[in-house]
């Protein structure tokens, strides 16, 4: 049963008559094979473009029915008041001025329970105090539990102790600013400068925008005397940028201790920030599949191919780093062997890059659901591609081959491997005795960390044998395996998997009442106008009326990795438009004030709609 406030789901189009199906399939196959080999986009007569099915039906926008006075006061009033918006933007700027950079080396330095901590974390305590001073109602009405020194767990207790709670997540930390780039910033990176149009500085988009947006929404609801029926929980970690093992992991443990295993109704965290599509398209050929990937890359709101899509992450690729280490006898460089240590390591790396993972587009891959939404709702998509996606079961292999031509879409269908670091040798006239390389993998949804480890063994074993290398692997469970031993060899090849290896995330549902509530709220807010100022009645909405919600696969990982045991309804979404933000993880990070206000409005309405969900 869907949300009681939502109208019936917009029906999918009635399937057209199959018509000349064999001819259609043959034409599509021919075209796709041609494209996979030669590129370009064909034109087909309309009779060849009949499709079998259509998908990606859209839930209608969900508008809260209870306490319509709050809609008038906040959603249509306060959030459009120029003075209040300026004050809210200033508060976001204040949060940016508190330096909460986190660094990789802190991952293995958990904070002490009490006493002096490292200087790098001093901003976290300052941030908590700022929240307490800035949002008095939140800290009066909600209970706050400080977890593992700096993580913040707020509970807004509802009167209904049976229904499952809503959990809203974000993180306090930000990625470091390179000192070599400081002079490239329009405004200093921690100035929190507000120029009347945007808020500038590190964290303004990733992701103090969402954290402050959540707290602003709760403060506004409390000011309107809103009392939740269902419990709302705010979970703010402090080391997401270094995998969340001291923040979100401890928050998850605290929630489990409250009896919330498989007992959270909905959990929403940040999405995946990427460069604007316009930048990517300019960097690639016009006919590149980058146009497809732009629409589907990361959660947020993007307008492409004549339509606007709000993208909700329903899964994440897995992650693991692997280190290849090679030890060989040393000696003087004047009498080198046919292949030095570094030369053999180079051969091993070359062999890996010559054997990439094979792309597959399985029915369970969220990327397929994204493609289907594209085929259903993108006005300007080429008809042949629309037909190919709709008939993907009949043309799957050539469609995959075509999509795999571009690395952007390829890695939505397969595991990526990237050799990112190498070291070896200490002196020019000394043969290297040790060298190593580090390889980053983003694991496809249909594969596992064990598949990656098996691929490495199969690929590297022939090289190990040809060079008489003793070959050992240490897998992600810290188990050692011997694959080749040569009695006369003193050369050793060791392949070790990072202990924090992460399997692909469970795939959250993209149908049902929880999805309809979330997606309906997304459409309600995303289709509204957050640029125009001034109070106006609900029935005079003048925003965009055709924002389509699509599920997507995220290549990056978030703190949600630690929350899998709480619920199957984990979603990643940023209520911001890609052309109104900039500078994620680089210089000149900033967000338009209108997008920050839209973020507040989204969390405000999601909290309200969650109270009215019928389950």
The predicted-structure confidence for 563-615, as pLDDT tens digits, reads as follows 999 999 999 999 999 889 999 999 999 999 999 999 999 999 999 999 999 75
Question: What average pLDDT does the structure give for the chain?
Answer: 89
Pair (455, 581) in one structural domain:
no
CA distance between the termini of the chain: 7
Mean pLDDT on 520-528 = 96
Range in 202-206, 243-247, 468-472, 486-490 the model is least confident about? 486-490
Question: Is 605 one of the catalytic residues?
Answer: no
Pair (438, 567) in one structural domain:
no
Cβ contact 452:441 at 8 Å: yes
Is residue 61 domain-resident? no
Pair (77, 152) in one structural domain:
yes
Taken in order 367, 368, 370, 371, the sign of the CA dihedral is positive
Pair (326, 472) in one structural domain:
yes
Mean pLDDT on 113-118 = 96
Pair (448, 580) in one structural domain:
no
Q: Which residues are annotated as a binding site?
A: 171, 206, 241, 269, 585
Strand order in the sheet with 581-582: 198-200, 590-592, 581-582
Mean pLDDT on 322-333 = 97
Which is more confident, 538 or 438? 438
Task: Say if residue 35's pLDDT is above 60.
Answer: no
Pair (242, 391) in one structural domain:
no
Pair (386, 262) in one structural domain:
no
16 band by pLDDT with thresholds 50, 70 and 90:
very low
The predicted-structure confidence for 193-218, as pLDDT tens digits, reads as follows 999 999 999 999 999 999 999 999 99
Which is more confident, 259 or 4? 259
Is residue 366 domain-resident? yes
Is residue 532 domain-resident? no
Mean pLDDT on 39-56 = 53
Of the candidates 546, 545, 544, 554, which has an alpha carbon nearest to the alpha carbon of residue 574?
554
Task: Say if residue 284's pLDDT is above 50.
Answer: no
Of the candidates 296, 271, 474, 462, which has an alpha carbon nearest to the alpha carbon of residue 372?
296
Which is more confident, 322 or 384? 322
Pair (102, 209) in one structural domain:
yes
Residue 537 is predicted with a pLDDT of: 62
Question: Is 262 one of the catalytic residues?
Answer: no
Of the candidates 359, 117, 352, which has an alpha carbon nearest to the alpha carbon of residue 246?
117
| Cα–Cα distance measured from residue 272 to residue 366, given in angstroms and rounded to the nearest whole number | 15
Query: What is the b/e burial string over 505-533, where b = at least 16 CB atoms within 10 angstroms of the residue's CB?
Result: bebbebeebbbbbbbbbbbbbbbbebeee
Is residue 491 domain-resident? yes
Is residue 52 domain-resident? no
Cβ contact 597:531 at 8 Å: no
Pair (266, 324) in one structural domain:
no
Q: Please, how many CA atoms are within 13 Å of residue 46, restricted to the half-sphere of its CB?
A: 1
Cβ contact 212:91 at 8 Å: yes
Q: Counting Cβ atoms within 10 Å, is residue 215 exposed (0-12), middle (13-18) or buried (19+)?
A: buried
Alpha helices in 15-81 (DSSP H): 21-38, 68-70
Pair (325, 419) in one structural domain:
yes
Task: Say if residue 34's pLDDT is above 90.
Answer: no
Among 219, 239, 240, 574, which one carries the catalytic annotation?
A: 240
Cβ contact 411:367 at 8 Å: no
Task: Say if residue 361's pLDDT is above 50.
Answer: yes
535 band by pLDDT with thresholds 50, 70 and 90:
low
- Reading the block at residue 403, the tokens are 């999509």
Instruction: Using a pLDDT cut of 90, give the percent of the chain over it.
Output: 80
Is residue 285 domain-resident? no
Domain count, the chain: 2
Task: Say if residue 44's pLDDT is above 60.
Answer: no
Taken in order 546, 551, 553, 558, the sign of the CA dihedral is positive
| Cα–Cα distance measured from residue 289 to residue 32, given in angstroms and rounded to the nearest whole number | 13
> What is the domain extent for residue 349?
315-497
Domain boundary among 497, 526, 541: 497
The predicted-structure confidence for 126-153, as pLDDT tens digits, reads as follows 999 999 999 999 999 999 999 999 999 9
| Cα–Cα distance measured from residue 224 to residue 218, given in angstroms and rounded to the nearest whole number | 10
Residues 6+ apart with CB under 8 A from 221: 70, 74, 604, 607, 608
Domain boundary among 497, 532, 566: 497
CATH code at position 252? 3.40.630.10
The predicted-structure confidence for 477-498, as pLDDT tens digits, reads as follows 999 999 999 999 999 999 999 9
Residue 174: CB atoms within 10 A of its CB come to 27
- Reading the block at residue 591, the tokens are 């967000």
Residue 45 is predicted with a pLDDT of: 44
Among 51, 173, 475, 559, which one carries the catalytic annotation?
A: 173
Domain boundary among 453, 468, 497: 497
Is residue 548 domain-resident? no
Pair (407, 339) in one structural domain:
yes
CATH code at position 320? 3.30.70.360
Is residue 502 domain-resident? no
Phi, psi of 586 (to 5 degrees): -145, -160
What does the DSSP assignment read for 499-543?
TT-BPPPPPPPSSSHHHHHHHHHHHHHHTS--SS-S---GGG--S
Q: Which residues are annotated as a binding site for Zn(2+)?
A: 171, 206, 241, 269, 585
Range in 97-101, 194-198, 250-254, 576-580 the model is least confident about? 576-580
Pair (605, 474) in one structural domain:
no
The predicted-structure confidence for 408-446, as pLDDT tens digits, reads as follows 899 999 999 999 999 999 999 999 999 999 999 999 999
């Amino acid at each position: 049963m869907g949300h009681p406030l939502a109208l019936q789901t917009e029906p999918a189009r009635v399937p057209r008559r199959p018509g000349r199906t064999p001819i259609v399939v043959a034409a599509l196959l021919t075209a796709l094979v041609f494209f996979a080999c030669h590129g370009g986009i064909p034109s087909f007569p309309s009779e060849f473009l009949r499709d079998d099915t259509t998908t990606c039906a859209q839930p209608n926008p969900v508008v809260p029915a209870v306490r319509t006075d709050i809609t008038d006061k906040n959603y249509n009033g306060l959030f459009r008041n120029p003075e209040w918006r300026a004050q809210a933007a200033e508060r976001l700027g204040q949060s940016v001025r508190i330096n909460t950079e986190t660094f990789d080396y802190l991952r293995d330095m958990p904070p002490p329970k009490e006493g002096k901590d490292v200087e790098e974390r001093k901003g976290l305590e300052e941030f908590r105090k700022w929240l307490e001073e800035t949002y008095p109602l939140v800290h009066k009405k909600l209970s706050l539990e400080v977890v593992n020194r700096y993580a913040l767990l707020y509970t807004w207790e509802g009167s209904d102790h049976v229904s499952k709670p809503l959990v809203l997540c974000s993180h306090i930390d930000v990625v470091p600013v390179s000192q070599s780039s400081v002079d490239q910033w329009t405004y200093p990176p921690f100035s929190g400068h507000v120029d009347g149009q945007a808020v500038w500085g590190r964290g303004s988009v990733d992701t103090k925008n969402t954290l402050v947006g959540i707290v602003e929404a709760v403060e506004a609801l409390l000011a309107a005397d809103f009392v939740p029926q269902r419990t709302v929980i705010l979970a703010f970690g402090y080391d997401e940028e270094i995998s969340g093992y001291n923040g979100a992991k401890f928050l998850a443990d605290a929630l489990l201790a409250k009896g919330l295993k498989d007992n959270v109704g909905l959990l929403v965290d940040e999405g995946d920030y990427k460069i604007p599509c316009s930048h990517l398209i300019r960097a690639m050929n016009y006919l590149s599949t980058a146009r497809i990937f732009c629409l589907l890359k990361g959660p947020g709101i993007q307008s492409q191919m004549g339509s606007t899509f709000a993208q909700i992450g329903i899964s994440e690729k897995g992650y693991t780093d692997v280190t290849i280490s090679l030890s060989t006898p040393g000696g003087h460089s004047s009498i080198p062997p046919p292949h030095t240590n570094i030369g053999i390591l180079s051969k091993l790396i070359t062999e890996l890059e010559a054997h990439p993972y094979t792309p597959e587009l399985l029915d369970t891959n969220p990327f397929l659901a994204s493609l289907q939404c594209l085929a259903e709702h993108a006005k300007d998509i080429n008809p042949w591609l629309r037909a190919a996606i709709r008939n993907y079961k009949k043309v799957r292999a050539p469609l995959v081959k075509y999509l795999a031509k571009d690395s952007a879409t390829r890695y939505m269908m397969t595991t990526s491997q990237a050799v990112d670091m190498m070291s070896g040798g200490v002196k020019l006239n000394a043969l290297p005795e040790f060298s190593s390389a580090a390889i980053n993998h983003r694991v496809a949804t249909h594969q596992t960390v064990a598949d990656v480890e098996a691929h490495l063994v199969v690929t590297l074993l022939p090289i190990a044998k040809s060079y008489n290398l003793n070959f050992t692997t240490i897998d992600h469970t810290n188990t050692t395996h011997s694959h080749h031993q040569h009695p006369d060899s003193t050369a050793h090849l060791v392949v070790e998997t990072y202990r924090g290896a992460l399997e692909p995330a469970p795939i959250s549902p993209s149908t049902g009442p929880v999805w309809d509530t979330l997606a309906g709220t997304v459409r309600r807010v995303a289709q509204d106008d957050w640029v125009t100022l001034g109070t106006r009645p609900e029935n005079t909405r003048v925003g965009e009326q055709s924002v389509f919600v699509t599920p997507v696969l995220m290549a990056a990982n978030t703190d949600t990795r630690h929350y899998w045991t709480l619920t199957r309804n984990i979603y990643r979404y940023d209520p911001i438009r890609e052309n109104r933000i900039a500078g994620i993880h680089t210089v000149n990070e900033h967000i338009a004030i209108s997008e920050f206000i839209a973020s507040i409005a989204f969390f405000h309405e999601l909290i309200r709609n969650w109270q009215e969900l019928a389950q």
